[in-house]
Amino acid sequence: MRVADTSFLYALISTTDALHERAVRAAQESEPVTIPAEIFSETVALVQYGSGFEEARAAGDWLRSQSLVQIGMGTEETLRETWRTFVQANGRLSYPDSVVVAWCRPRGFTPLAFDTRILAHARR
């Protein structure tokens, strides 16, 4: 299982992003992708702030329509792990980045992210 971060999703959605082609290649792999609800929210908001409501709606609709994508709701344990990760990172991870790490690290999932901080923390 792969868990998507906003850095990956934004690169996938934005054709002008420097990492767009790399994101497209990664998205074409056959392994399912989970997008934590918090990350879906952050991504749609980022697109809305940058490009407006219609672009955000279209991006959200497109992500939700992908057959290998599921939007996941965290459990109480995931929320506790997210907070522990955020606090232990002591400012080196944002709360949304901590969400991705909390989904990945205990389960051995792979983060789909272009943020090296997430990648480093998920491997610990």
The whole-chain average pLDDT of the chain stands at 95
Query: What's the CATH number where 85 sits?
Result: 3.40.50.1010
Domain count, the chain: 1
The predicted-structure confidence for 28-70, as pLDDT tens digits, reads as follows 988 999 999 999 999 999 999 999 999 999 999 999 999 999 9
The predicted-structure confidence for 1-17, as pLDDT tens digits, reads as follows 899 999 999 999 999 99
Strands (E), 1-124: 2-4, 33-36, 69-72, 110-112
Residue with tokens 């990760």: 85
Q: Residue 66: give the domain boundaries.
A: 2-122
HSE, side-chain direction, 13 A CA sphere, residue 78: 14
